């Protein structure tokens, strides 16, 4: 059937004219702004064009509903990118914004039966994606500070049992980190936090997820023979109906001398959570949502030695 479609090129012939445009501004050697826009065409693959049913596994069946070999999927992309590096002030700044939009894309119609699902490939009326990234880093005296933001937004339209459904999601994450950079100090410090938030709207049903993590890390050397580090993290997982907290403390110590082939160590991980703390995750896909509780590994202490030949 595919060979017949491919050979009949005149019947399914179609034309598409796209473009790519870019504008770039340079503000010296270490600063750059670029704006670009493009209109391109996406194509489907041969598997999606087969009109007969295809068995994917024991519960899923595929079928082409209204796709043709000459079906066009125009994609409009807009990009804004800016970066600046200042060697004198020890600063770095990066900003990137992308927006992708199409009012005709490869979509699906999910037909739910008692024991199996039929996925019909169709033309979807809407597909949007917006992403944003911002990064800033600066050296302040003997410390390195960095700040990061990520954001993405998705909007899709699909069908469930031939009824139009809408899916949207927003994801935001932010992190701030401070790290010491002392030339001569027995102790070095690293401290910061990571925060993420996501919300989903799946055909009118909404759910959210938060994750907040604070951490501190200390490391250093004692008389050039003992190396040690201590890391502590406090994490909060929160869903609409559940919440979990987890405190992890992980100390490590290593001893080795310059003229010896022996190295002795003691590594400990998550020593306060011997009873297996739990992590909450939220997996949201088109048509369904899943909340999962996963137990972490139990804490442990590892004592050992190494000999270098």
Categorize the per-residue pLDDT at 6 as very low, low, confident or very high, splitting at 50, 70 and 90: very low
Closest of 216, 161, 220, 172 to residue 197, by C-alpha: 172
Helix (H, G, I), strand (E, B) or coil at 137: strand
Instruction: Supply the pLDDT for residue 10.
Output: 46
Other beta carbons within 10 angstroms of residue 148's beta carbon come to: 16
Q: What is the 3-state secondary structure (H, E, C) of 37-78?
A: EEEEEECCCHHHHCCCCEEEECCEEEEECCCCCCCCEEEEEE
Is it the case that residue 7 has pLDDT exceeding 60? no
Q: Which of 129-138, 180-189, 241-250, 279-288 has the lowest mean pLDDT?
A: 279-288
Whether 140 and 82 have beta carbons less than 8 Å apart is answered as no
Instruction: Supply the pLDDT for residue 13.
Output: 56
Other beta carbons within 10 angstroms of residue 48's beta carbon come to: 19
Is it the case that residue 1 has pLDDT exceeding 60? no
Is it the case that residue 246 has pLDDT exceeding 50? yes
Q: Which residue has the higher pLDDT, 294 or 83?
A: 83
pLDDT above 70 as % of the chain: 91
Q: Which residue has the higher pLDDT, 170 or 258?
A: 170
Is it the case that residue 24 has pLDDT exceeding 50? yes
Question: Model confidence over 26-54: pLDDT tens digits?
Answer: 998 899 999 999 999 877 766 667 777 77
Instruction: Supply the pLDDT for residue 258.
Output: 80
Instruction: Supply the pLDDT for residue 21.
Output: 95
Q: Which residue has the higher pLDDT, 258 or 237?
A: 237
The Cα-based distances of 31 to 82, 83, 97, 134 in angstroms read 8, 6, 17, 15
- 85 alpha-carbon distance from chain centroid: 26
Closest of 178, 176, 91, 170 to residue 132, by C-alpha: 170
The count of C-alpha atoms lying within 13 angstroms of the C-alpha of 209, restricted to the half-sphere facing its C-beta, is: 22
Whether 219 and 182 have beta carbons less than 8 Å apart is answered as no
For β-strands 243-256 and 205-222, DSSP reports them as unpaired
Burial of 49 (0-12, 13-18, 19+ CB in 10 A): middle
> 225 φ, ψ to 5°?
-115, -30
Q: Which residue has the higher pLDDT, 114 or 195?
A: 195
Residue range 222-226: mean pLDDT, rounded: 82
Helix (H, G, I), strand (E, B) or coil at 3: helix
Instruction: Supply the pLDDT for residue 286.
Output: 60
Question: Model confidence over 98-127: pLDDT tens digits?
Answer: 999 988 888 888 888 888 888 888 888 788
CA gap 183, 165 in Å, rounded: 59
CA gap 200, 290 in Å, rounded: 12
Whether 133 and 147 have beta carbons less than 8 Å apart is answered as no
For the chain, give every domain's residue range. Answer: 1-181, 188-309
């Amino acid at each position: 059937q595919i060979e017949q479609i491919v050979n009949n090129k005149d019947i399914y012939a179609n034309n598409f004219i796209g473009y790519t445009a870019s504008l770039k501004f340079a503000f010296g050697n270490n600063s750059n702004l670029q704006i670009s826009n493009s209109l391109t065409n996406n194509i489907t693959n041969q598997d999606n064009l087969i009109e007969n049913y295809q068995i994917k596994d024991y519960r899923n069946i595929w079928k082409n509903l209204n796709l043709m070999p000459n079906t066009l999927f125009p994609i409009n992309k807009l990009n804004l990118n800016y970066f600046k590096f200042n060697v004198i002030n020890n600063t770095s700044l990066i900003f990137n914004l992308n927006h992708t939009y199409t009012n005709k894309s490869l979509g699906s119609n999910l037909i739910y039966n008692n024991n199996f699902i039929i996925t019909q490939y169709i033309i979807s009326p809407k597909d949007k994606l917006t992403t944003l990234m911002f990064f800033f880093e600066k050296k302040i005296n003997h410390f390195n500070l960095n700040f990061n933001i990520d954001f993405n937004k998705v909007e899709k339209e699909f069908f469930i049992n031939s009824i139009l459904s809408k899916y949207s999601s927003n994801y935001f994450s932010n992190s701030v980190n401070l790290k010491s950079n002392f030339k001569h100090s027995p102790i070095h410090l690293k401290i910061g936090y990571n925060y993420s938030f996501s919300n989903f709207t799946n055909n009118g049903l909404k759910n959210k997820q938060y994750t907040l993590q604070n951490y501190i890390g200390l490391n250093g050397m004692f008389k050039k023979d003992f190396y040690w580090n201590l890391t502590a993290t406090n994490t909060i997982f929160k869903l609409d109906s559940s919440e979990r907290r987890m405190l992890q403390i992980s100390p490590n110590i290593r001893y080795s001398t310059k003229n010896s082939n022996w190295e002795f160590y003691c590594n400990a991980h998550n020593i306060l959570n011997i009873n297996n703390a739990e992590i909450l995750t939220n997996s949201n896909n088109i048509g369904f949502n899943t909340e999962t509780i996963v137990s972490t590994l139990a804490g442990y202490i590892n004592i050992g030695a190494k000999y270098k030949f």
